[in-house]
Every structure is written in structure tokens, then in C-alpha cells.
Amino acid sequence: MTATTDTPTDLLTSTVETLRATYRSGVTRPLAWRRRQLEQMARMLEENEAAFLEALKVDLGKPAVEGFITDIAFVLSEIESMLKHLTKWNRPKRVPSPLVTLPARSKLVPEPLGVVLVIAPWNYPVQLLLAPAAGAIAAGNTVVMKPSEISAATSALLGRLVPTYLDPTAIALVEGGVAETTELLAERFDHIFYTGNGTVGRVVMAAAAKHLTPVTLELGGKSPVIVDRSANLKVTARRVAWGKWLNAGQTCIAPDYVLVHEQVRDRFLEELTSAMTAFYGNDPHASADYGRIVSDRHFDRLVALQQGATVAVGGRTEAPERYIAPTVLVDVDPASPIMQEEIFGPLLPILTVTSARAAVDFVNGRDHPLALYVFAGDKAVVDDVLARTTSGGVTVNGTMLHFTNPHLPFGGVGESGMGGYHGESGVRLFQHLKPVLTRGTAMDPSLPYPPYNDRKAKIFRKIL
């Protein structure tokens, strides 16, 4: 792995102070500045695409096409949407004024929060850093970006490029690990955006509470797939296989486990095996389209999670390469470790249920997931699952695609997180909608003023 150049911790306070001074100077307020920074971020990705794809390959064994789609193209699409709607999304919005305030006009004025901290994970190290940072910039904030030290090659590349392309007085990138992140969290920010696991999410929230700083937590959890007996099994298997083994399963909204109706369980397994072979051949180890596990620690954790379950498909591991084959597990004990923690890897447990309602009960017996997937041809089944479950987001008859729609806020609920972003939501997240009421002075009705009398009291009762 490429080593990161850690930012000296004694410089972190001065970095934040510089960004706060820039924010207070008003530099980030004009839309022209925000537009320029977004355009420069897009240029950075386009002009250095090959370097980013190589860094993603070093860190995650990520195939070039996959890296382009999930990390480069996704961010470019977000930026394009923000540039297209920048004026509209930052325009004050008129709202009605009640009778008691007249003569008056009321509006909501979007204003930036100040200095924003974005802490990104290692699994999509470009997308999950730059997409929220772009929203914070479009909203008019200054930003500290903290990439993960685990995806070291990508972090180092971002550390070199960000100050070259973006305004260094307003946008800073801090490299390093736990020590640097801990020091950053001791600083006062106006919003903290964290993507990662719940354990660290609690640390972030506790640190933010000391300054009453609002937080957005994009966490994970065990995102279930419910496969009803009315589902198109061939299509279902292909879409589950794609969502599960993209990035070798290292995706926060990857299908974590499948609850399949007992009547179609064997056919589903057959179709899932066929889909895996169609995607990666008879030997996924040799496939140019299949990635690797990010670190030895995560590799060892995943190998340990397989213990005690029956391997129906896959199971091969190669420690020197951190390779774990696309693996399907059956006869899984619901109380086993693999069913208690987020897998975040290419292992897919299959459990059978007697009905879609039984699957709903199983899901509801656990923490609210970040994503939920239901496959059914019977609309009544789909409606029942949607009505009876709570999750951060849902794709019906598909996996993960709700994440790609900029008109749908992406985020969790309960243990899977708080707050949502993407598109307009990704800008609004980093703003305060300031209520402004402006009264005219040509008229000044005496009704609200003392002394009060019975006539005024009657009028109040009618208009209030």
C-alpha cells in the first residue's frame, strides 16, 4: 500500500482557523466562487482519471470500469446537477405571511453554516469524500476533507491534487489516521459529515456534542433482501449478485443477507450460481472484473465470519492477495456472528422463510437497515413490506439503485444513521434556511398595541 503523508497535528488548529477566517471574509458567498470550485473539482477528476483508477486498483483491486462508474462518474454527475441548479437551489423562497403580520413579506433565505468537516471511508474513497464535499461547497461553506488512511494510495493522490485544483484558503485536505482524526474532532466545526461504522459514529457524535455541532452520520448495518415466491428468480438473482459482489461486497448498502421463500429457495440458488458464473467466469480469481479486500485485518475478519456455515458456492481464499471468492452460505444460524454484524465483504448468507410476512418479522427483530430490497411480482407483497418495515432507503426489484437517484435523499435511520444527501438534499444539508419577515412602514395598524379593549379582543379571536 502507498503510505499517506500525515498532516502534522500541530497544523490542524491553524488549518481550521484559516478556513474560518476565509468563511468570515465572505469569499465563499458568491455563487461565482462556488461554481468555480465545483468546475475545478470536475476538472481534477477528468484530467487525472487514469491516476485515480490506478489508485483505486492499488487500494481495492478495483476494476477500471467499476472504479469509473462508482467513484469518478458518480461524482461528476453530482457536480453537473449542482452546477445546473446552483442558482435555483440558493435562491430565497417566498412563503405566505399570516394576517396578523401584515403588512409583511416572508421568505426563507438559504445561508451556509460555516466550516464543514467531511470524514470519508475507504470503500469508495473518491465518491464518499468528494460528493458530500461538493454539496458543502455548493452551499457556500469552507470544507476540511479527511480521506481514510486505509485507502492509502487514493488518499495520497487526493492530498496532492486537492490543493492544486481547489482554493487552499477555503478547502483543505487532511491526511492521516486515528490521531489526526481525533485532533480534528477536537476542533469546533459548524457541521460534521461522517461515513463509516456505528462505533466510530458514536465517537464522532460525542465529540460534536461538546461544541453542539450538528452531524450527519452515514452508517451501515445489515441490509436485507426479501425474495418472495412471486419474484422473477432469474432477474432477481442477477440483480442480487451485481449488488452483492460489486467492490467485492465492500459497500454499505450491499445486500447483506437474503430471506428467500422456502418454495423457491433451491431455484434461487441455482440462478444465483448461474449469475455469478456469467459475471466472473468459472474462476472469479482470474476475473478482471472482481476486486480484492482492502486490508489484511478485514480479510481475516471475513474468513472468521465464514466459520460454522455451509458453503454452497465459492469459499476460496488467498491471503497473499486478500482474495475472497464470491461466496454463498446456507444453513446459517441466525444467532451466529455473521448474522450479528455487518459483513462488508463477498459473503452472502441465505436463510429460508415461510412467507413474506415472516421475512418482515425477521427484519423488524433487528436494527433498522440502511437499505432494504424486496423482490416480488405480487404488488400486495411489496406494499406490505414497505408498510411494515423501516429502512434508510428501498429499491424494489433491484439493489442499490435508489442511491443513484439525485432526487432521492440518501441516508439511514436509527442505527444506520441520520441525515440524508445527494442532489438538492446534499446542498440543503449544509445550509440554514433563515426565516426572514420584512414589514412595511407606510401602514402601522394600532390593533396589536396596548391599550387592549373588548373590540380588540374579539378581533384577535377571529384572526388568530
- Rounded Cα distance between 366 and 389, Å, is 11
The Cα–Cα gap between 61 and 258 comes to: 26
Q: How many CA atoms lie within 13 A of 112 on its CB side?
A: 24
| Contact between residue 138 and residue 89 where contact means Cβ atoms under 8 Å apart | yes
CA distances (Å), origin 1, targets 92, 245, 248:
48, 23, 18
Q: Do residues 271 and 313 touch, judged by C-beta distance below 8 A?
A: no
Whether cis (ω within 30° of 0) applies to the bond prior to 103 is yes
Q: Which of 66, 78, 183, 218 is catalytic?
A: 218
* Contact criterion met (CB below 8 Å) for 232 and 51: no
**CA–CA dist 149, 288 (Å, integer):** 25
Give, as one character, the DSSP assignment of residue 118: E
Check if 252 is active-site: yes
First to last CA, the chain: 67
- Ranges of each domain in the chain: 9-219+415-435, 224-408
Name the CATH superfamily for 9-219+415-435. Aldehyde Dehydrogenase; Chain A, domain 1 (3.40.605.10)
| Dihedral sign, Cα of residue 145, residue 148, residue 153, residue 154 | negative
306 vs 29: CA distance, rounded Å: 52
Which residues have C-beta within 8 Å of that of residue 388, sequence separation ≥ 6? 357, 360, 364
Residue where the block lists cell 400486495: 380
Give catalytic status of residue 218 as yes or no.
Answer: yes
Element (H, E) at 330: strand 327-330
Q: Which homologous superfamily does the CATH classification assign to the domain defined by 224-408?
A: Aldehyde Dehydrogenase; Chain A, domain 2 (3.40.309.10)
Residue 197 CA to residue 222 CA, distance in Å, equals 12
Query: What global pTM score does this model have?
Result: 0.95
Helix axes 127-138, 74-89, angle to 10 degrees: 10
Catalytic residue from among 66, 78, 175, 252: 252
CA angle centred on 157, ends 60 and 4, rounded to 5°: 80
| E strand or H helix at 380 | helix 379-388
Distance of alpha carbon 458 from the chain centroid = 54
**Residue 162 phi, psi dihedral angles, 5° rounding:** -55, -50
Residues 6+ apart with CB under 8 A from 337: 304, 305
| Gap between the Cα atoms of 179 and 16, Å rounded | 16
Residue pair 350/369 in contact by the 8 Å Cβ criterion? no
In this structure, the chain runs to a length of: 464
Q: What is the pLDDT along the chain (464 residues), one digit of tens a residue?
A: 455 567 777 789 999 999 999 999 999 999 999 999 999 999 999 999 999 999 999 999 999 999 999 999 999 999 999 999 999 999 999 999 998 888 999 999 999 999 999 999 999 999 999 999 999 999 999 999 999 999 999 999 999 999 999 999 999 999 999 999 999 999 999 999 999 999 999 999 999 999 999 999 999 999 999 999 999 999 999 999 999 999 999 999 999 999 999 999 999 999 999 999 999 999 999 999 999 999 999 999 999 999 888 999 999 999 999 999 999 999 899 999 999 999 999 999 999 999 999 999 999 999 999 999 999 999 999 999 999 999 999 999 999 999 999 999 999 999 999 999 999 999 999 999 999 999 999 999 899 999 999 999 999 898 88
Between the alpha carbon of residue 218 and those of residues 48, 264, 361, the distances in Å are 27, 34, 25
